[in-house]
């Protein structure tokens, strides 16, 4: 009888699925490219487009589109760039070099962060959240290349994931913003 109780209890303990630990993106923080700790809560009330960026990638010209998107929708959107060297060493620079490259070549004014790992053992907590459905509610995709984009709503919930091939000003992304639609922007 004792053995049956033990087996039933063991089965119950190990067959229960883990509770979902949903967390808001606003609970996270990261170091800016200038070394300041930035709480994602400071972006509450705006949509957030998180992008893993690199300066020596075929998609690097997307910096221009990211800057344009940021300028067009800055009242309702913030673009956050996270340099990463995880894909064929396409971001070899140090933070200061990356910042200068972005400013000189693409006029980047959207927030840039210190270089991070977006996959693997050293994955930054921002990217752990973006790619773990127990944390974000549904998505399990880590970036597969540079310039993957994750759209987060005003409440800190993950809305969409876009691959590197999707341009920042593509309607797949811009459809989520209202500003600029009456100023000649295409829907």
Which residues are tagged catalytic? Answer: 57
Residues 185 and 144: their CA atoms lie apart, in Å, by 30
Contact 52, 143 (CB under 8 A): yes
Complete edge-to-edge strand list for the sheet that includes strand 47-53 = 77-83, 47-53, 149-152, 158-162
Task: Write the burial class of residue 38 (CB in 10 Å: 0-12 exposed, 13-18 middle, 19+ buried).
Answer: middle
Tokens of 118: 């977006």
Query: Could you say which DSSP state residue 123 is in?
Result: B
């Amino acid at each position: 009888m004792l053995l049956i109780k033990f087996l039933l209890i063991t089965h119950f303990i190990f067959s229960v699925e883990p509770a979902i630990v949903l967390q808001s993106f606003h609970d996270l923080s990261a170091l800016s490219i200038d070394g300041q700790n930035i709480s994602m809560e400071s972006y509450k009330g705006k949509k957030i487009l998180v992008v893993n960026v690199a300066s020596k990638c075929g998609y690097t010209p997307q910096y221009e589109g990211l800057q344009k998107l940021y300028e067009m929708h800055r009242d309702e959107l913030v673009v956050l760039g996270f340099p990463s060297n995880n894909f064929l060493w396409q971001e070899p620079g140090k933070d200061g070099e990356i910042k200068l490259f972005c400013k000189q070549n693409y006029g980047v004014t959207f927030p840039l962060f210190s270089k991070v790992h977006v996959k693997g053992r050293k994955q930054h907590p921002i990217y752990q959240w973006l790619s773990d459905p127990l944390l974000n509610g549904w998505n399990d995709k880590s970036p597969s290349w540079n310039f993957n984009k994750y759209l987060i709503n005003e409440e800190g919930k993950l809305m969409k994931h876009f691959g590197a091939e999707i341009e920042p000003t593509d309607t797949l992304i811009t459809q989520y913003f209202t500003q600029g639609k009456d100023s000649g922007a295409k829907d």
